[in-house]
Structure formats: C-alpha cells, structure tokens
Amino acid sequence: MSDHPLLTLNQVSKSFGPVNVIRKVSVNVHAGAVQVLLGENGAGKSTLIKMMAGVYQPDGGEILIDGKAVSLPNTRAAEEHGIATIHQELNLVNSMSVAENVMLGRTPKKFGMVDRKALRRQARAALDLIGLDVDVETPVGELGIARQQLVEIAKALSINARILILDEPTAALTRHETESLFKVVADLRRKGVGMLFISHHLDEIAEIGDSVTVLRDGEFVAEVPASTSEDELVRLMVGRSIDDQFPRRSAESEGPAEILAVEHLTSKGKFEDISFTLRAGEVLGISGLVGAGRTELIRAIAGADRYDSGSVKVRGKALPKGSVQAAIRAGLGHVPEDRKGQGLVLDASVNENLGYATLASSARLGLADFSGQRSRAEAVANTLRIRMHSIDQPVGSLSGGNQQKAVFGRWIIAASTVLLLDEPTRGVDVGAKVEIYELMNAITEAGGAIVMVSSELPEVLGMSDRILVLRDGRLAGEFSSADATQDKVMTLAARDVNEEH
Amino acid sequence: MSAATLQAKRRSFDVKKFLANNGALVGLVVLCIALFIATPDFLTGRNLLNIGIQVSTVAVLAFGMTFVIVAGGIDLSVGSVAALSAMVSGWFFVSAGLPGWLALLGGLAAGLLAGVINGLASAYGKLPSFIATLAMLSIARGLTLVISDGRPIKTSPEVSFLGGNLGPVPMPIVILLIAALVASFLLNRTVVGRSMYAVGGNAEAARLSGLPVKRIIVIVFGLAGLFAALAGLLLAGRLDSAQPQAATGYELDAIAAVVIGGASLAGGLGRISGTFVGALVLVVIRNGLNLLNVTSFWQQVVIGVVIALAVGIDVLRRKTRSS
Ligand SMILES: Nc1ncnc2c1ncn2[C@@H]1O[C@H](COP(=O)(O)OP(=O)(O)OP(=O)(O)O)[C@@H](O)[C@H]1O
Ligand SMILES: [Mg+2]
C-alpha cells in the first residue's frame, strides 16, 4: 500500500458565473478512514464532492487519486476510478422498480437480454446490507423519501467502490436506519474503503468520523479530529457558539383553545383510526419508524391526499377531504417531506417559489402583486437567512438546506396558523435549525400551533410539548415532553418491529 | 463574497449567456442579413408586409401554444380548431343569418369551447394532453367538414375586415401585435399566467402550494382554443371565406415556433417574445426559400433541420444551466 491518500482535492476552486462557491479548498480521503465535511448550508460541501464525482470540474487546483493528478470530466470517469457517490438530492427513476434503480447502468444481462433473476438477486443483496425490507419490484416512486434514500445508498454500496462519498445520507433517516448504515460504514472502513461523509447531525460525527474538514463560505477553515466537542465544531462552522440547540418556549397559557381536531382518521393500508387534538400554542411531535404512516397522516390532514373515513376539523369546522386549497384557507400550511419532488418548482426563482401559496390571495383583479411579493419574499429570505446571490435565481441552484428554508418560508408569508411540518429541518444546518425553531416559537406564541413529523428524535424531544408515537399506521402511545426520553419513544415505536425480527 | 465584487462582475456583459438566452433572435438577425445579401426582393415593403401577414396566423396560434407548453402540455388540435372556428363563424353568418359581429364572436366561442373540452379531458379525464388533443384534432376537422359539406363558406364583413387593411397597414399585423401584448400580459402579470409556470415546472409542488392546478389546465387549453379561433378568423378574413382544409398542419408550425423561441417541452419555461421570434424565424425562412426559388419539398426539409437545431440548442442550454 502506498502512503498517498486515496483521493486528494488540492487547492480547488469553483465558481458559477460571477459567484465563487469554492475557493482554494483541500481535502484528503484516506483508505480505511471516514473524512467528514462540515459547514453551514451553502458552505460549498455538495459542490466540493461533485468535483470528486465528476459532476463539476474545478476551475482551479487539482484532483489526485493515489497521488497522481487525474481529470474527471464526467461521472463515468469518476466511477472508473472506483468513486461511488450518494448525492444529497435523490437521483432515482420513479417509474422504475427498486431493483432496476439499484442496478441502473449495471443491469445484469444474459444473451443480450436483462437477466431478471440475477437483477433481483443482486438488488436484494444490496438492500439487505442496509436492512431495507421492501419488494424489489415496487416502483421507486411509491416509496417514501427515507426508503428512496436507502435505495440510493444500496445502489452506491453495490458498486464495490474504493472511495465512497455520502452527502447527507442520514438526513431523511430515523435512528434505526442510520444505525444500519453506520454498521455498513464500519465494515467498509475495515475493508479499507475511503469515505467522505457529510451530515448536519453533529452527534454522528464522533460516532463514525475520523477527521473533520470544516468549510465556511467556500473556504477551508480547519481540519480537526472527529472527537472534537460539538460546541467547538459549531463554533468553527458558524463562527459563533450556539447556546441552546432546542430553544423551545412553551406558549400554552391562555386556556386550551382547540385549534385542530383529527377524529378517527383512516386511510386503508396507510393509517387507521387516528384521533388527536392540537391546542393553540402547542407543538405536537409525531414520532415513529419509517413506514409507520406519519407522512401519509400529515398529507391527509393537509388535504394532499384523500382518506377513507374520519374527519379533520380546524377551529371546529370540518375540512373537505383532499382539498389543499380549503386547508390553506383554514390556515394550514404543509411542508412536505420531499422538497425537490413536492415542495419546489426548481426552475422557478426563489421569489416565485416563496409566493405560490399567496399568489392568488395577494392578487388584485387577477393581477399578481409583484412588488408586494418581492418585498415579502425578501423579508422572509432575510429572516430565514436563505443564502443566495439573488432572489431571482432558480431555487434549484440553492444548496439543499437553503431550498428547505424556501419551502418553509412560503407558509411564513402565507401567515399560516397551523403548520404541518414533515421533516422541517431535513438537511438544515445547526444555526439555521435554531432559526427555524425560533420561528416555530413565534408562531405558537402568536396563538398558532404546529404538528411536526421528524425522524430526528432529539428534535422531536427538544421542540415538542407532546409526542405521539405511530407504529404500523396506528397510534401506539403518547408522551408529554416531560416524560419522554429517546429510549421510551424508540421502544414504543419499534416494539413490533423488534418482535418480528 | 462582498456585494461589491458581485455587482462589478454582474455588470460585465456575459456574451455566452446572452447567446444562450437569445439564440433565436440572433438567428433571426443573421437570417435577415443573409437574405438581404442574397436577394434584392427580400427587403422590399411589399415583401415585409407579406411576411407580417403570414406570421400573424402562425404567431397567434403559437401564442396559444405557448400557454400550453409552459404549463407542461401540448396541443395538437390548434390547426383544426382554427378551421372549425372560422367555419362555425361562416355558418352562423350564412346559414343561421346572425349579424356579422355576432358570427365573429360565435367563431371565437367555438374555439374557446373546443379548447375547454381539451382542458377538461386532460385535467379531469386524466388523459395525456397529447392524446386528448389528438382526438380533438380529428373531431374538429371532421366537424368542419360536416358543417361545410366540404365547401368553403363566405365570411361576414366583420371577419373579412380582420383580413383587410387599416390604412396602409394590414389588419392581421395589427391584430398580431394586440394578441402578442395580451398574451404576454396574461402570462407575465396575471395569477393564472404565473401559475402556468408553476404547473409546468412541478405540478405536484404547485398543487401542494394550493394552486388550483386542474382549473389552470382548463384555462390554459381554453386560451389555446381562443387564440386558435382568432388565427382561424384571420386566415378566413384574408380569403373572405372559411376553407374546410384551412390551417392543416399548422399545429406543427406553432409548436416549432414555441420551441425555437426557447420554451422547453418539459414545461415551466417559455416567453411570448421568444415565441414571436420563433414564428418570425419560421416564416422568414419560408419566405426566403420562396424568393430563392427553392421548392416546397426542400423547404420542409430545411424547416425540419431548423427545428432540430433549436431543440438541440435547448438541450445544451439546459445542460450548461444545470451545471
Ligand atoms: N448550479 C449552481 N448555480 C449557481 N449557484 C450554485 C449552483 N450550485 C450551487 N450554487 C451555490 O453554491 C453555494 C454552495 O452550495 P452547496 O450545494 O455546495 O452547499 P452545501 O454546503 O452542500 O449546503 P447544504 O448543507 O445546504 O447542502 C450555494 O450558495 C449555492 O447557492
Ligand atoms: Mg449540500
């Protein structure tokens, strides 16, 4: 074995038009080690790894593999060097089956035809690695975001790469799936695979990382051991310290005015007989494993999907089934789990995306209110600190976390009083998370209320006043924030699953 | 990065970007210069008016098509609907004896109705718009033949006025400019217009943001039908008669104009000004080839190549933009 790192980015730079996104950054990936990239939303992490994956080419600096300078003009070239990448945004073909997606580009053939048996077998093996238990014939589009993420991971793992790049693979996962992923990572590390890992979950860094490269504003800040304290990491990353990661201020004082009532809500095959109420000023967390029906429940309440029976009442008035518009009129706002597929029009500007929910209500005589919209959008982009070079740039060119803030911002502009949040901070950095939490506080203090589905248990525990646990589409139990602990919630959420296995 | 450096950089003119965004316009200018050099007949008042009249039909159809393509659909029926609308108008005037202006409005209403049916079939009937409008292409042409019994029908004086002159300026050119302003206003300024971009860009995100996606689709196709009817009336007005085979195949010209003008068939992108330029490119090429005595057979080949080029440029543009 040589003493060269497997992969080196040496003083690379990258700009998009007039915007310098990466300036003279160096990173090494060593065999049998996990290099962590850390930085705020928009710091340039994804841009950096896209240069390793052959998606972008650096404007300056060089890429070395085994100490030799190489050029990676396209993704194929990167793959030929043994680099596999799990990108932050999913790249799956929704209409194709799980198996076909996992084996995409490497479909096993027999006599020039697809060898379906081998296809299924190889895909199954890849999925078993990370413990994804779905039928490999299912079209990927029918899976939720977390399972799609697992398919994406399986796809990258099955390539047998020497270098594996993971851009926020855990953002959509619950602790349960994250643990299976980390087992695989530990295994690969023993086999000498070099890995580069990005995550906004700081606790994961010490758990699987070896060394951390910190970026700020596209520049190299420091390289520190992964055992560095979280506080120190935060300080390096945002340039200041954050005192309270979950600054929940309870706002339930003025009487228990009931704002949302869900009664016996049932959607066959998704969830059954769900009842709960939400009081003004309350944050209700919904916890559960992937596939427990959390997203389906939120979507039904928001009017995104129809349901079979039961009712949803807002301030005593029943909402019609499956009408997003009626839900919005009643004051509901829905942040869906999949920002790329369901939240944003990627080609449209940040400004337009922030304004869709209020496009009609702010219009006069059918004419869009451009100047009003622009000032509202600018104000919200400011509050949420959406990092962009212009409010007119396509929202698809923002970094992942900033895109997430844009979805959130739409409902701030709409002044929604009941927010239905599905993974509201997926991919959002620690600093910006606190800003989103503060917005949640502001909404509840103004008499609004929030239902929050999140796979991040610390977030659910830290921000909710009350926690519902879903298991297999049914309510498994309820905790007050005082009683809840990670262990209690996980045990309840996973009970059946553990018994089955 | 400091705001100052950003601004300084933005001020410097980006030639590559200008070309990528205005390729059709540059192409048009080059084309006109080439024709000006190649033939003395090109830059004459008569020929330019001629181009103006010819572009009016194609462009008005293409404006309607722009709505549809921006919203992520396609409308194959606009040529047939144009013919049907003119025929209905003629029938109202000649056979039903309605006043001329009412016959004109009747023609527009027929186009609107056909478009709304397209929209309903595609939004609520869940038919792909390609299929729904393919059916309408056949139905509308068939109805045109049924109404006319295969013979031309005289148009009302009001419709003929649309094809006539206003002083020295041909009416079709006036109508064209008004239609362009109206279409551009609809697309850029109104709630419905802005919603079209959202629906074409990501219909699911539009729906979850509370936009009435289905209603917007119906309006989009209704507008395409209305603009098609106007184009049909312009065409009939010029000939003083509604022809049963009028505007056959014009849907392809309209689609080509929109695509040359920079819209993406994937939806979510497109501008009326671009479509206008696209229609001009098509018509000027045809006109030039005529002046140079190229047969209509070869003209078709050339037009095909131009469309392929335009789409190729579109693909390239998307690639450079996404990276
Ligand atoms: N194609 C592009 N065009 C213009 N700007 C871009 C493009 N891609 C990225 N950027 C900008 O580059 C910056 C860095 O983005 P990048 O996606 O690398 O951030 P990130 O560190 O991965 O953030 P996150 O944690 O949110 O995923 C952002 O400000 C983003 O807006
Ligand atoms: Mg990123």
Confirm whether B157 is domain-assigned. Answer: yes
Q: Give the chain B residue nearest A303 (alpha carbons).
A: B208
Does the pLDDT value for residue A367 go beyond 90?
A: yes
Cβ atoms A12, A56 nearer than 8 A? no
- Pick from A292, A334, A282: which is nearest to A477 by CA? A292
Which is more confident, B8 or A72?
Answer: A72
Confirm whether B8 is domain-assigned. Answer: no
Listed by start position, the domains of chain A span: 7-238, 245-331+420-428+453-501
Q: How many domains does chain B have?
A: 1
* The length of chain A, given as a count of residues: 501
CATH classification (class only), A245-331+420-428+453-501: alpha beta
Structure tokens at B27: 């192409």
Cβ atoms A330, A317 nearer than 8 A? yes
Report CA(A314)–ligand 2 centroid distance (Å).
37
Closest C-alpha to ligand 1, atom 28: A42
Mutate to test the pocket of ligand 1, among A27, A47, A407, A436 (most ligand atoms within 8 A of CB): A47
pLDDT at B317: 65
Closest C-alpha to ligand 1, atom 31: A398
Binding-site residues, ligand 1, Cβ < 6 A: A 16, 19, 21, 39, 41-47, 88, 387-388, 397-402, 427, 429
- Calculate the alpha carbon distances from A267 to A305, B227, B234 in Å: 9, 44, 54
Find chain B residues with C-beta within 8 A of A55's C-beta.
323
If you average pLDDT over residues A429-455, what whole number do you get?
Answer: 90
| Each residue's pLDDT tens digit, A369-396 | 999 999 999 999 998 889 999 999 999 9
> Do A368 and B191 make contact, defined as CB atoms within 8 angstroms?
yes
- Calculate the alpha carbon distances from A421 to A195, A298, A301, A310, A416 in Å: 32, 8, 11, 21, 12
Confirm whether B21 is domain-assigned. Answer: no
Compute the nearest-CA separation of A47 from chain B (Å).
10
Confirm whether B25 is domain-assigned. Answer: no
Q: Which domain holds residue B294?
A: 43-322
Fold entry, domain A7-238? Rossmann fold (3.40.50)
Could you tell me the CATH number of the domain that includes residue B58?
A: 1.10.3470
pLDDT at A256: 65
Confirm whether B119 is domain-assigned. Answer: yes
> Do A334 and B212 make contact, defined as CB atoms within 8 angstroms?
no
If you average pLDDT over residues A276-285, what whole number do you get?
Answer: 94
Q: Give the chain B residue nearest A370 (alpha carbons).
A: B189
| Each residue's pLDDT tens digit, A104-121 | 888 888 888 888 899 999
- Same fold: A7-238 with A245-331+420-428+453-501: yes
Structure tokens at A218: 């596209």
pLDDT at B19: 67
Compute the nearest-CA separation of A334 from chain B (Å).
8
Confirm whether B35 is domain-assigned. Answer: no
If you average pLDDT over residues A199-219, what whole number do you get?
Answer: 93
Find chain B residues with C-beta within 8 A of A346's C-beta.
201-202
The answer to whether A75 faces chain B, any CB pair under 8 Å, is: no
The answer to whether A350 faces chain B, any CB pair under 8 Å, is: no
Does the pLDDT value for residue A333 go beyond 70?
A: yes
Cβ atoms B275, B261 nearer than 8 A? yes
> Do A18 and B197 make contact, defined as CB atoms within 8 angstroms?
no
Q: Which residues of A137-150 are buried (b: 16+ CB within 10 A; e: fewer)?
A: eeebeebbbbbbbb
Of A304, A346, A360, the CB nearest to B208: A304
| Each residue's pLDDT tens digit, B274-315 | 999 999 999 999 999 999 999 888 988 988 898 788 777 767
Instruction: Spell out the residues 6+ positions from residue A155 whose beta carbon is closer than 8 angstroms to its own.
Output: A86, A101, A102, A103, A104, A126
Report how far residue A306's alpha carbon sits from residue A318's, in angstroms, rounded to the nearest whole number.
14
Question: Quick one: what percent of chain A has pLDDT higher than 90?
Answer: 66
